[in-house]
A and B are shown apart, each in its own frame.
Chain A
Amino acid sequence: MTIINFTPLPALMGGALIGLAAALLLFANGRVAGISGIAGGIVYPESRTDLGWRVLFVVGLVLGGFIYQWSGLGAGVQQITAVVDKPGLIVAGLLVGVGTQIGSGCTSGHGICGLARRSPRSLVATLCFMGSAIVTVYIVRHLLGGAA
């Protein structure tokens, strides 16, 4: 194992802002900032009154992405290069959608919010998706010698 591209300071600051954003949503609206849960309620709405805040949160995500690009902060990510081809992106997108709905959460809902509430369910979920993601990267990169 060799260590590459290590950027601890922006990582820590970005992470702190994410934690602060999740705390703000809980403090103001009483809602958990689980992105897959918020998005799920847009794609498959349960009531009309419950839709608006979800849409605005996602609009905010995109807006935050724009602001980051305009700010030109740090090393800066100004364009994105996918690590898999189009069919790979489709399979990955489907798996992320299905998996987060069945497992009731993603990196934010389980990994940040759930662990902060010391939820045993979120600890199990986080270990499962971290583990399967590490195994997947190992298989794709080192056994199949595939992308990147």
Chain B
Amino acid sequence: MRQLLAALAAGTLFGFGLGLAQMIDPAKVVNFLDLFGHWDPSLAFVMGGGLLVNALLTPLILRQKRPLLADFFRLPSKTEIDRRLVVGSILFGIGWGLAGYCPGPMLTSLSFADADIITIVLAYGVGTFAARWALARRGG
């Protein structure tokens, strides 16, 4: 129960932060990615601020024996840089550049209850399911 409340609190803070940073405005995201036109550097400050705070806190947190409400930390264990990582990330970037939505701002924008948002979230869900299904069949 307490883990569920912690997840809700973290999600709420995350969503509010995305709003405050205006990362939920796809036009602002695309302007950030438009290095060769009208460039809006703001989102570099979003990523910089997020990275700075998280990079300061993460080593302190991982120095604890275990998380506050769980038995152990679950961190990604893979270290190999493979083709899957590169190809997947490039595909993701194409989709991000096309519409200005990465997963966090996309899901946060469901708060606008807009037909366009619902369209892209559904497509995102289908893509996520299809890829997970295909990867599971391959045993990946």
Contacts and interface: CB of A to CB of B under 8 A. Distances in A.
B79 A130 contact: no
A33 to B, nearest CB: 7
Instruction: Give chain B's interface secondary structure class.
Output: helix
B40 A97 contact: no
A117 B129 CA distance: 28
A53 to B, nearest CB: 4
Interface in B23-40: 23-28, 30-31, 33-40
Interface in A102-127: 102-108, 110-117, 119-121, 124-126
Contact of A60 (B10, B25, B39, B61): B10
A75 B22 contact: yes
Interface residues of A, number: 116
A33 B10 CA distance: 9
Contact of A30 (B22, B73, B128): B73
A44 B136 contact: yes
Instruction: Give chain A's interface secondary structure class.
Output: helix
A133 to B, nearest CB: 4
Interface of A: 1-8, 10-33, 35-36, 39-40, 43-44, 52-54, 56-69, 73-75, 77, 79-84, 86, 88-108, 110-117, 119-121, 124-126, 128-138, 140-142, 148
Given A21-B11, A99-B88, 19 more contacts: A1-B37, A3-B41, A6-B42, A8-B42, A11-B21, A14-B17, A16-B52, A21-B14, A30-B74, A33-B10, A33-B14, A35-B102, A53-B4, A56-B11, A91-B123, A95-B91, A95-B98, A102-B131, A103-B85
Given A67-B16, A93-B99, A121-B81, A130 B93 contact: yes
Contacts of B25: 77, 80
- The 6 nearest A-B residue pairs measured at CB: A60-B11, A97-B127, A64-B15, A14-B21, A103-B88, A15-B49
Contact of B34 (A11, A21, A79, A138): A138
Contact of A137 (B13, B30, B52, B119): B30
Contacts of A125: 85-86, 88-89
A104 to B, nearest CB: 7
Given A97-B128, A102-B87, A103-B85, A18 B123 contact: no
